[in-house]
Amino acid sequence: MSDLSGTILVTGGMGFIGSNFVRYLLREHPAARIVNLDKVTYAGNPRNLADVADDSRYVFVRADVCDAHTVAEVLAAQRVDQIVHFAAETHVDRSILEAGDFIRTNVEGTRVVLEAARKAGVRRFLHVSTDEVYGSLGASGAFTEISPLQPNSPYAASKTGADVLVRAYHVTYGLPAIITRTCNNYGPYQFPEKFIPLMIVNALRGEPLPIYGDGLYVREWLHAEDHCRALATVLAAGRSGEVYNIGSGEERVNLDVAREILRLTGQPETLLTHVKDRPGHDRRYALDHAKIRRELGWKPEISFAPGLRQVVEWYRQHDIWWREILSGEYRNYYQAHYGGQRD
C-alpha cells in the first residue's frame, strides 16, 4: 500500500473506529500528520488515545462537526489536505429512543464538513459509512455497492442522508469524495453499548447477557484493525466518486457469538437472557466486498475466532477503561434500556 502523507483531518477520532484509525495512521504512515476533531460525546473518550496524545504528528481539537466556523478554521490553520469523516452518532437503539442527535450530527454535521472541504479544496474526502444503509437481507445474498439504499432505523436513515449528500457534493461540485461502507466492527476501545463489548463486560462481571428476540439475527464481523487498513488503502488509492464495501465474510448468529464469549470467559450459558426485541430489527447483513479486493488488493487478515479471543483478552486486561464508562452516563442508559426486561 502506498504511504500516506500530508495533513489528514480525522473527525470523530475519539470514538471506537476513529481512535483505532488515528493510532493506525501514526504507526503505519510516518509521513502523515493527523488532526483529530472530536466533540467528545458520551462515546468519545480521550483515554482511547492517551498513548499518542504527545505525539508531535498528532493534534487534537475539541469541536462539534456542526460548528461550521471552527471546522473551516481548523482546515485552514492546520493546512488539512485530506479528510476522513467518522464523526457520527452510531448506536441503533439510541436512535430509536431519540433520533434528533443522529440527524443533527450525521446529516447536518456531514453537510458542514463537506462544505468546508469544498471551500478549502481538499484533495480527498473519505466518508465512513455502514452496510445498514442497504437495509436487511433474508437468508441468502449479499449487498453490493449498487444495491438500493433502504435504511430501516433512524440511525441507518441518518447515515443514508449523509451518504447521498456526499454523492451530491461529488457530482455537483466535483469534490473528490469516496464512500466506504463497512459491516459490524469489533476490537479494542469499542463502547460497551454495542453487542460484542456489552456481552464481554457483562460476562466478565457475571451479569446476564441480554439477547434481543430469538437471537438468530446474523451480523458480519470485521476486526477494527482490518477496517483501518482498508480505509488507509482507499484513502491512498481509491477512485473519487466511488463506493467501496468493506466486509469480512465472517457471518455469525448473535446467540453463537454470545455463547463463544461465555466460553472464553469461563461463564455458564445460564447467563443468556432473552429480552424484548429491537423494533424494526434487521435480520441479516452481509457485504459483497469483491470490489475493494479486485481494485485495491485489500482483504481481511484477522479471522473472527482469533480476533474475538484477542478482544476478550483486551477487555479482561483493560477493566479500568470499561469500569469507568460503566460508572457514568452508561448506567442510566443501561437501566432505561434494559432495566427489568425479560421476554
Q: Which residues bind ligand DAU (CB under 6 A)?
A: 90-92, 130-132, 183-184, 194-195, 198, 210-212, 217, 219, 254, 278, 285
Between residues 15 and 238, which has the closer beta carbon with respect to ligand DAU? 15
Q: Is 214 a known active-site residue? A: no
Selected catalytic residue, list 64, 131, 145, 193: 131
DSSP 284: B
Between residues 33 and 194, which has the closer beta carbon with respect to ligand DAU? 194
Between residues 169 and 191, which has the closer beta carbon with respect to ligand DAU? 191
Q: Is 295 a known active-site residue? A: no
Round to whole Å and give the CA distance between 285 and 222. 12
CB 68 → ligand DAU: shortest distance, Å? 25
Selected catalytic residue, list 58, 155, 169, 285: 155
Residue number of the CB atom closest to ligand DAU: 130
Between residues 39 and 194, which has the closer beta carbon with respect to ligand DAU? 194
Selected catalytic residue, list 132, 193, 220, 250: 132
CB 338 → ligand DAU: shortest distance, Å? 7
CB 210 → ligand DAU: shortest distance, Å? 4
* Interstrand relation of 251-253 and 218-223 (parallel, antiparallel or unpaired): antiparallel
Helix (H, G, I), strand (E, B), or coil: what is residue 317?
helix
User: Please, are residues 284 and 214 in contact by the beta-carbon 8 Å criterion?
Assistant: no
Q: What is the secondary structure of 100-144 as a DSSP string? A: HHHIIIIIIHHHHHHHHHHHHT-SEEEEEEEGGGG----SS--B-
Spacing of C-alpha 275 from chain mean position: 25
State the cell numbers at 194.
Answer: 454495542
Round to whole Å and give the CA distance between 165 and 18. 21
Q: Is 132 a known active-site residue? A: yes
CB 245 → ligand DAU: shortest distance, Å? 11
Q: How many other CB atoms are there within 10 angstroms of residue 112's CB atom? A: 21
CB 274 → ligand DAU: shortest distance, Å? 9
Between residues 58 and 191, which has the closer beta carbon with respect to ligand DAU? 191
Between residues 279 and 328, which has the closer beta carbon with respect to ligand DAU? 279
Q: How many other CB atoms are there within 10 angstroms of residue 147's CB atom? A: 18
Which residues is 33 bridged to in the sheet?
7
User: Please, are residues 308 and 222 in contact by the beta-carbon 8 Å criterion?
Assistant: no
Give 339's contacts (C-beta < 8 A, 6+ positions apart): none
**Amino acid at residue number 300:** P
CB 177 → ligand DAU: shortest distance, Å? 19
Query: Could you give the residue numbers annotated as active site?
Result: 131-132, 155
